Amino acid sequence: TLDEMKTIKDINYQLMEALFAYKSLDERDEQITPYVIEETKNNMTRFKSDYDQNDTSSLLISSEAFVAKSFNSNEINVINDVVSELTFNKEAQKQHMYVKVKYVKDTGEWRAKSFNFSKYVED
C-alpha cells in the first residue's frame, strides 16, 4: 500500500542517516539498533575490524532511495544511492556507493535484514 511504502521510505532514510552520519563506529552501531533485526546487528558487531574505531566518523552528504517491487509481502528491497564523507585518522574521503537493503517484517515492524554495499567508481 502507499502508506506502507511511505513507512518503508521513512525507515530507510533514518537507517541511511544512522549508517552514514556518526562520530564513531560505536555510535553508529547504537543508532542502527531500532532499524535492523537482532541477527543483522550481531553480525555487524562481530565483524568489526580491530583498528582504532574511535577515530572514524562519517557525514551523510546525500541519499536517494528507490523501492524495488517484491513478490513477497513480508519483504521489500530498497536501493540507495548514497554520497558520504568518511574520516579515518583525520583524513576525509568522499564516497559514492549503492546500498541495497532487504527489509523484512520483524514483530510487526519493518527492519533491515541484510545490506549489500557497492562502491561507485567514477571514470
pLDDT, tens digit, for every residue of 33-91? 999 998 888 877 766 655 556 678 999 999 999 998 777 778 999 999 999 999 988 89
pLDDT 10s digits, 17-28 = 999 999 988 898
pTM: 0.86
pLDDT on residue 61 = 96
Domain range list for the chain: 2-119
pLDDT of 29 above 90: no
Q: Taking the CA atoms of 26, 28, 30 and 33 in sequence, report the sign of the dihedral they define.
A: negative
87: nearest Cα among 120, 41, 50, 52: 52
Class level of CATH domain 2-119? alpha beta
